[in-house]
């Protein structure tokens, strides 16, 4: 299984902190944000990684990460997203890197208290289809700003709804996605959404409709450090006090 770490975007929600740098290079605790995503993948046994970024600060990732050896990687390659075309478009850049293997995709601004190793192992055993990582949210109003799964009476995912006014569950979709190689065929068929992007929710709903989606619920702290200034400082405070990927 190969890893794809998505570190693009304009970082507008963290402005002015992102005026002169990419948000994934901002500090969390005592190191750059992106290092936590790399650590999460490496500690789960994934040591071949593609970092996809964009914008005017892309070269800074090469300066920071170099060949990835310092971070425990056996192989590190880079992809460049020329415009803000969405998560699915960014993932599509990794098709040749994946070379037919399954991928674990992670948004580089997602920080987890606990390791994702168990989910990596379960998807390896699953073999085909897709697997998502959910977390339970205590604040229902927060779910209105996230992707939320609708579950049936047997606990199966019916669909993923983006930013629902009336959330159908207490779970949200975190920024970790597992896909087999067919994901790139699915991406090639997508049409841009109303905001002009290829949406990862459309990819996930495709696997759900095919009956090949499974999921895990991860406990402990989860934070999207790129969601807002307040969220960024909340993640910072948690990591400084408790660490991450334990």
Closest CA to 88 of 216, 170, 203, 165: 203
* Radius of gyration for the chain, computed over Cα atoms and rounded to the nearest angstrom: 17
pLDDT digits (tens, 9 = 90+) for 217-234: 999 999 999 999 999 999
For each of the domains in the chain, give its residue range(s) and CATH number, in order of start: 2-242 (3.90.550.10)
CA angle 12, 34, 83 (to 5 degrees): 45
What is the structure's pLDDT at 72? Answer: 98
What is the structure's pLDDT at 138? Answer: 85
Could you tell me which residues come within 8 angstroms of residue 238 by beta carbon, excluding any fewer than 6 positions away? Answer: 111, 113, 221, 223
What is the structure's pLDDT at 129? Answer: 98
pLDDT digits (tens, 9 = 90+) for 166-203: 999 999 999 999 999 999 999 999 999 998 999 999 99
Residues of the chain with pLDDT under 70: none
Distance set, CA 212 to CA 46, 145, 160, 233 (Å): 23, 26, 14, 37
> Which pTM was predicted?
0.97
What tokens appear for 161 in the block? 């709804």
What is the structure's pLDDT at 159? Answer: 98
């Amino acid at each position: 299984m190969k890893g794809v770490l998505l570190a693009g975007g304009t970082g507008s929600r963290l402005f002015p902190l992102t005026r002169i740098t990419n948000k994934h290079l901002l500090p969390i605790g005592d190191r750059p944000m992106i290092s936590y995503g790399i650590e999460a993948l490496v500690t789960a046994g994934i040591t071949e990684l593609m970092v996809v970024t964009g914008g005017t600060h892309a070269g800074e990732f090469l300066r920071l990460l170099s060949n990835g050896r310092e971070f425990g990687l056996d192989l590190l390659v880079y992809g460049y997203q020329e415009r803000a075309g969405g998560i699915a478009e960014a993932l599509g850049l990794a098709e040749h890197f994946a070379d037919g293997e399954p991928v674990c995709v992670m948004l580089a601004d997602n920080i987890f208290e606990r390791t994702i190793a168990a989910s990596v192992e379960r998807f390896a055993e699953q073999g085909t289809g897709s697997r998502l990582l959910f977390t339970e949210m205590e604040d229902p109003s927060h779910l209105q700003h996230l992707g939320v799964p609708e579950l049936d009476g047997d606990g199966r995912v019916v669909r993923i709804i983006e930013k629902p006014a009336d959330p159908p569950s207490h779970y949200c979709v975190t920024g970790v996605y597992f896909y087999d190689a067919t994901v790139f065929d699915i991406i090639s068929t997508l049409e841009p959404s109303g905001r002009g992007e290829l949406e990862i929710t459309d990819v996930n709903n495709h696997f759900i409709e095919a009956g090949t989606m499974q999921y895990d619920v991860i406990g402990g702290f989860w934070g999207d450090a790129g969601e807002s200034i307040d969220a960024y400082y909340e993640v910072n405070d948690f990591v400084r006090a408790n660490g991450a990927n334990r």
